[in-house]
Amino acid sequence: MPTLSIEGRRQLRGHIRVSGAKNAVLKLMAASLLTREPCVIRNVPYIGDVLNMIEVLEGLGARCQLDGDVLYIEARDLHPEAPRDAVRRMRASIQVMGPLLGRLGEVKIAQPGGCAIGARPVDLHLAGLRALGAVIDERHGYIHGRAAKLQGAEIHLDLPSVGATENLMMAAAVADGETVIRNAAREPEIIEVQNFINCMGGRVRGAGTDTIRIRGVAGPLGGVDYTVIPDRIEAGTLAVCAAVCGGDVTLSPVIIEHMEIVAAKLVEAGAGVEVNGETLRVFGDGVLKPLHIRSQPYPGFPTDMQPQVVAMLTRALGTSIVTETIYSSRFKHVDELRRMGADITVDGRVAVVRGPCRLSGARVEASDLRAAAALVVAGLAAEGETVIEGLEHLDRGYEDLAGKLAAVGAKIVRRVPTEAAVP
């Protein structure tokens, strides 16, 4: 299997281009199933999750073509059963439920698998779809949904689930009458789904607030040509790399409003942060102060940045406290960080990070996407060589992270064993 080798303790200098947002693109790909007309999505990152979602859409009968960062999707003739293997590989494939129920009146999909970051049920997705009139049967590891015609409804989510909000927006876009989603998630990616559906001729408003109103359209939705927003988590990860290494790095494009809490925490930690339009500059000497962090739904501190920040805080001068409120088990990176010399204790959902630690390079293994990113941050901060295994996790969500970091001075190389390199 390929590994990433990092020789740490080098300052970073230069500019890095931020790719399109994974967690928006995957939902726009699902939303493309709402129409028979061609859809074009631009600024698509070349990452494993996008390739996997292409497999899901193709398995449903859609035609997809990825040309550079432009993805063409044409879902003229669809059938309702999603391909099991591709679905089991990625939880986001559950997002095809809403569009398929809306368009075909039927969907059959494997239950999404367990996850390295804790239990991730889909009960809120299913309760919402039932409220829209779908009959849903869960049997033999599959979810089977049917609906002669979805009907608009008032839905109050028990918690502001990102995926449930998006699934219900897509289903409601073609339902009869009006749907109101209360306690909706407010993440920027939800606004992307709203904008995409509206560009197709849908009528959605309120995304970005906790109440979203969707008026179902009677006629078919049309095709769309849409450019996705920059990835706020990729940008945040790169900003953390710059803060921990020291130096002077600019990141663009970013939507600064999406980066506010991460930028504020970096400033609190003592990093230099400047904003100039769509460019975020992170600079300093790598000397950092401890933080108190609590992951929260947007606009709170993103859980998807928690592992990277824990890795960064091992270098801070003092004790940091990091509380994970979204996932039950998102501290798997801590064991690997300890192998590198980090002094971290975890009690339930709280990690106490005692810094500064002299991290030393070690052979470590990534357990999920953001844990992999945390190991990259630690490798950049450590003395000696760090070798990261489990790169398939990193590749799911980061477009050429190693190449981007190497271009600003990191000593980081991807090693592919010779036998694996032979096609």
- Active-site positions? 115
Report the half-sphere exposure of 396 (CA within 13 A, side-chain side).
23
**Candidates 154-162, 198-206, 214-222, 286-294; binding stretch for ligand EPZ (CB under 6 A):** 154-162
CB of 270 to ligand EPZ, least distance (A): 26
**Candidates 136-144, 159-167, 337-345, 359-367; binding stretch for ligand EPZ (CB under 6 A):** 159-167
Pattern 387-416, ligand EPZ, x by CB under 6 A:
----------x-------------------
Distance, CA of 73 to CA of 82 (rounded, Å): 16
**Candidates 116-124, 137-145, 345-353, 402-410; binding stretch for ligand EPZ (CB under 6 A):** 116-124
CB of 357 to ligand EPZ, least distance (A): 25
285 near ligand EPZ, judged by CB under 6 A:
no
Distance, CA of 219 to CA of 196 (rounded, Å): 17
Residues in contact with ligand EPZ, counted by CB under 6 A, come to a total of 24
26 near ligand EPZ, judged by CB under 6 A:
yes
Distance, CA of 253 to CA of 102 (rounded, Å): 35
- Footprint of ligand EPZ on 295-314 (CB under 6 A): 303-304
327 near ligand EPZ, judged by CB under 6 A:
yes
- Footprint of ligand EPZ on 243-282 (CB under 6 A): none
**Candidates 5-13, 72-80, 155-163, 332-340; binding stretch for ligand EPZ (CB under 6 A):** 155-163
Q: Residues with Cβ < 8 Å from 134, sequence gap 6 or more?
A: 101, 145, 146, 147, 150, 171
- Footprint of ligand EPZ on 162-221 (CB under 6 A): 162-164, 185
Q: Which of 7, 68, 57 is nearest to 27 (CA)?
A: 57
> Can you tell me which of 29, 60, 62, 92 binds ligand EPZ, judged by CB under 6 A?
92
CB of 369 to ligand EPZ, least distance (A): 5
159 near ligand EPZ, judged by CB under 6 A:
yes
Task: Give the DSSP per-residue string, 134-152.
Answer: -EEEEETTEEEEE-SS-B-
Residue with the closest Cβ to ligand EPZ? 163
**Candidates 123-131, 260-268, 340-348, 382-390; binding stretch for ligand EPZ (CB under 6 A):** 123-131
Q: Residues with Cβ < 8 Å from 84, sequence gap 6 or more?
A: 110
Q: Residues with Cβ < 8 Å from 423, sequence gap 6 or more?
A: none
Q: Rg (Cα) of the chain, in Å, rounded?
A: 21
Provide the 10 A C-beta neighbour count for residue 149.
Answer: 12
306: helix, strand or coil: helix
Beta strand segments in 257-374, E: 272-276, 279-284, 292-294, 319-323, 343-347, 350-354, 363-365
CB of 90 to ligand EPZ, least distance (A): 8
Contact residues for ligand EPZ, defined by CB under 6 A: 23, 26, 91-92, 119-125, 159, 161-164, 185, 303-304, 326-327, 369-370, 397
